[in-house]
Structure 1
Amino acid sequence: MTRTAVIAGQGALAPAVIAALDDPLVYALDGFAPDGVDAQPFRLERLVPFLDSLLDQGVSRVVFAGAIRRPRLDPELFDSRTAQLVPRIMMAMQSGDDGALRAVLDVFQEHGLTIASVAEVAPGLIPAEGVLAGEPSAADRRDAARAALILATLGPLDVGQGAVVAQGQCLAIETLPGTEAMLDFAARHAGLRPNPNGAKGVFFKAPKPGQDMRIDLPTLGPDSVIQAAQAGLAGIAWQAGGVILLDRAEAIRRADAAGLFLWAMPHSGI
């Protein structure tokens, strides 16, 4: 029997993944447990003993679910074996969050643990290609394709996983402040659209090119729909098979109520 441990990050994804699993062990970085989740804390300074404890409990598979921020490390708390990993992880961190995450995943795997993706353990959270609500216009589809191209081009810079495009013009890029800040920025600059009566714009999400699909997938949910509506956009599009949609039924209900489309678009953008 495969025993699974969930590394729970902040946000609504961890509870959804936990609900899809049969009696998982749940852990979170000390101080970063998501609300409403009973997670056992662990510290990165004692990563190797933590991995040993997982193996001792029969864990063979680990799922990362939710936003994980870099904790402040206390040099005095490192055990000798974890301390040996510090130069390697610090070097990886210089290449951005993706590099740091890959380095941590490598350590888990080197200890005999398999890293499972959300798609493996909770496939219902990742919509396949298709329109889930409303109907994007031809102009909306062009804006979504433009946003996909922008994100694909920015991918090597490890900037973000979202963009807002209206009438072919990029109104906002998701950066460290996150999706809500990006959509608020787009709302405040909606007047920059060339034609005030033209296409309202599209919020698009996708994984970064070359992203490890086992961790840090972009996530949408009912709150995303409300935020897109408040930004005055026509709808939300995302890369099919590469984005998590939380509480699908409620997201669709809110989109229908607000007159927004929800579209899991093919990777080609066609």
Structure 2
Amino acid sequence: MARAIIAGSGVLPGLLLQAGPAHVVRLAGVESEPLDAPDIPARFEQFGALFADLRAAGVEELAFAGALSRPAFDPSLMDPETMALMPRVAGAMAQGDDTLLRTIAAIFEEQGFRVVGALDLRPDLVAAEGPISGDASDAHLRDAARARSVLDALGPLDVGQGAVAAKGQVIGIETLQGTDAMLRFVGMSQPGSGGVLVKRPKPGQDLRMDTPVIGPATVMKAAEAGLSGIEIAAGSVLILDRDAVEAACEASGIALWAAP
């Protein structure tokens, strides 16, 4: 079965390519890493052309990987298939990211493609429950529980995958701007808080399209923000370059663990 990876930015497309040969769909305006794989160029405004090119390449299975910003559509470039889909896509864009991504997945599935996720292709990139680096203190665990409770409460609103708590207070919530922006805000507004970043999927989130990730840069940004712990959801948050993540934790004194 031929596979294609619709590539966003970052290292995840390359990690998924290690799971087996695949074509790489490169979207105009998206900076993706160079990879040793056949390319399929595409545009957000030309779904019809992409469907045709995927079929011509024999692709039956699709994986979405890497960071993608919400696209700005140029109506003058739209093909007829995209124009027909726009009311549906625009309606989804007015809601949260998970709604939009579920809609995109459904569109590809209706065209006969099977959509798989990073967890399907690289289950080795997640962590089992337990410590990963350093020791989580009782204070860490209390702050993590507080951040988790907020994420659970916000889940139906499709807001974000991360929150920061310190000394029992929630001091940062991830929104459309992403984890990095939240950590910058925390560092500026609550420097030296010693708080905990919790990263986990939204309740009921479609993990095929948007699996939460952390990497060494996440650890360093958490350290720069004055945090002292990171909790991830066991089995559902990808760790990009685990050796480097553990080394960054050791260098910065950040405890990292996976929780149910």
Tell me the TM-score range normalised by the shorter chain: over 0.9
Aligned position for 2:212: 218
In 2, Cα distance between the equivalents of 1:36 and 1:59?
20
User: What is the alpha-carbon distance in structure 2 between the residues aligned to residue 157 and residue 192 of structure 1?
Assistant: 30
Question: Quick one: which amino acid aligns to residue 25 of structure 1?
Answer: H
Say whether residues 1:68 and 2:68 are aligned partners.
Answer: yes
**Conserved? CA contact 2:62–2:113, under 8 Å:** yes
Where do 1:118-129 residues align within 5 Å? 118-129=118-129
Once residues 217 and 163 of structure 2 are traced to their aligned partners in structure 1, the CA distance between those partners, rounded to angstroms, is 17
The amino acid of 1:176's aligned partner reads L
Q: Give the match for residue 30 of structure 2.
A: 32
Aligned positions of 1:1-270 closer than 5 A = 2-18=1-17, 20-37=18-35, 39-190=39-190, 200-266=194-260
Kept in 1, the 8 Å contact 2:48–2:80? The answer is no
Render the CA deviation track for 1:150-177: whole Å, top value 9, x for unaligned: 1111122222111110111011111233
d(CA) in 2 for partners of 1:78, 1:126: 38
SS in structure 1 of the partner of residue 46 of structure 2: helix
Q: Secondary structure at the match of 1:242?
A: coil
Measured against aligned partners, the alpha-carbon deviations of 1:185-236 in whole angstroms (never above 9, x if no partner) come to: 212233696xxxxxx2101111111110101111100011111112221211
> How many angstroms does 1:37 deviate by?
4.1
Measured on the aligned residues, the alpha-carbon RMSD in Å equals 1.7
What is the aligned length? 258
Closer, same or farther: CA 35–53 of 1 in aligned 2, 3 Å = closer
In 2, Cα distance between the equivalents of 1:64 and 1:191?
A: 36
Once residues 190 and 83 of structure 2 are traced to their aligned partners in structure 1, the CA distance between those partners, rounded to angstroms, is 50
Q: Look up the equivalent residue of 1:77 and give its one-letter code.
A: L
Question: What SS is found at the alignment partner of 1:84?
Answer: helix
Equivalent position SS for 1:44: coil
Q: Distance in 2 between the 1:258 and 1:216 partners? A: 28
C-alpha distance in 2 between matches for 1:252 and 1:129: 16
Q: State the one-letter code of the partner of 1:85.
A: L
TM (norm. structure 2) is: 0.93
SS in 1 for 2:68: coil
Give the drift of 1:15: 2.0
1:59-81 deviation per Cα after TM superposition (whole angstroms, max 9, x unaligned): 11100001112222122222223
Between the two proteins, what is the percent identity of the paired residues? 44
Worse-superposed segment, 69-78 or 22-31: 69-78
Match of 1:197 in 2: none
Q: What is the alpha-carbon distance in structure 1 between the residues aligned to residue 77 and residue 153 of structure 2?
A: 41
Cα distance in 2 for partners of 1:222, 1:90 equals 35
Amino acid at match of 1:237: E
CA distance in 1, matches of 2:201, 2:127: 14
Separation in 2 of the partners of 1:184 and 1:82?
37
> 1:81 and 1:36, CA in 2 relative to 1: closer, same or farther beyond 3 A?
closer
The ranges of structure 1 where at least 4 consecutive aligned residues each deviate by more than 6 angstroms after the TM superposition are none
